[in-house]
Amino acid sequence: MALSGLFLVVFLLQHFIINFSSVVSPTTFNQWSHFMGYNVLVQFVLQPILIFGVVFHFVMGFVLEIQNRKSRRISYAQFKGNKNAPWVSRNMIWSGGVVLFFLILHFIDFWIPELNHKYIEGSMFHAELSDPSRYYSELVHKFESLLRVCVYVAAFVFLAMHIYHGFSSAFQSLGMKKKHKRSLLFFTQAFAIIIPLGFCFIALYHHLVSIHTIVPHA
């Protein structure tokens, strides 16, 4: 769980950097997206590893939750909820479940249309069918819908809660040294707030761009 979680955090950081480039420079966003989308190593080695990592993390999360519930059949003699463990750490299964639900929507929004364009329409194997400057306008178009922006922002709040506990807990599971505890906790909690806030900013920014139709040309 800890290793797959840390791997997903690394993915999240690179995903954030690429998506944030869409705010700073649409041309760079198009170039990076095209590279990631058509590079053979990324598509046929890294992406399957990522998908495996996502599935593994979710399946193991549910399995561990079931095991914990079974071993907790005999309830604690004294259970003081928030005093024993904070709310976010006791509800990882729920925050994780919301992130899983978001991922399904997100795949329908972005990933499945990409797979369709590449493997059904055939742009992966016929370069003349691919347009390297399409990504920015497609992204802005997706965030035209205020409903989608609201759903994404709500999901990013749950993502923040999930990483707020999960990121530091992963280091603890891997045997983090006591002397590093405070600084690691500061780093992981800052990450858990800054990155989801950044994702919220990206979604809101593109919504504003789309409604003002000031789509800069890449």
Residues that bind ligand HEM (CB under 6 A): 12, 15, 19, 33, 37, 50, 54, 99, 106, 110-111, 114, 139, 152, 159, 199, 202-203
Rounded least distance, CB 171 to ligand HEM, Å: 20
Closest to ligand HEM by CB, 2 or 204: 204
Secondary structure of the chain in the HEC alphabet? CHHHHHHHHHHHHHHHHHHHHHHHCHHHHHHHHHHHHHCHHHHHHHHHHHHHHHHHHHHHHHHHHHHHHHHCCCCCCCCCHHHCCCHHHHCHHHHHHHHHHHHHHHHHHHHHHHHHHHHHCCCCCCHHHCCCCCHHHHHHHHCCCHHHHHHHHHHHHHHHHHHHHHHHHHHHHCCCCHHHHHHHHHHHHHHHHHHHHHHHHHHHHHHHHHHHCCCCCC
Give least dist CB 194 to ligand HEM, A.
13
Nearer to ligand HEM (CB atom), residue 142 or residue 171: 142
Q: Give min distance, CB of 32 to ligand HEM, in A.
A: 10
Nearer to ligand HEM, 3 or 10 (CB): 10
- Least distance CB 154 / ligand HEM (angstroms): 12
Q: How far is the CB of 61 from ligand HEM (least distance, A)?
A: 14
Q: Is 29 exposed, middle or buried (0-12, 13-18, 19+ CB in 10 A)?
A: buried
Nearer to ligand HEM, 114 or 144 (CB): 114
Residue with tokens 């983090």: 176
Is the CB of 13 or the CB of 66 nearer to ligand HEM? Answer: 13
Of 4 and 33, the one with the shorter C-beta distance to ligand HEM is: 33
Minimal distance in Å, beta carbon 90 to ligand HEM? Answer: 21
Q: Which residue is nearest to ligand HEM (CB)?
A: 110
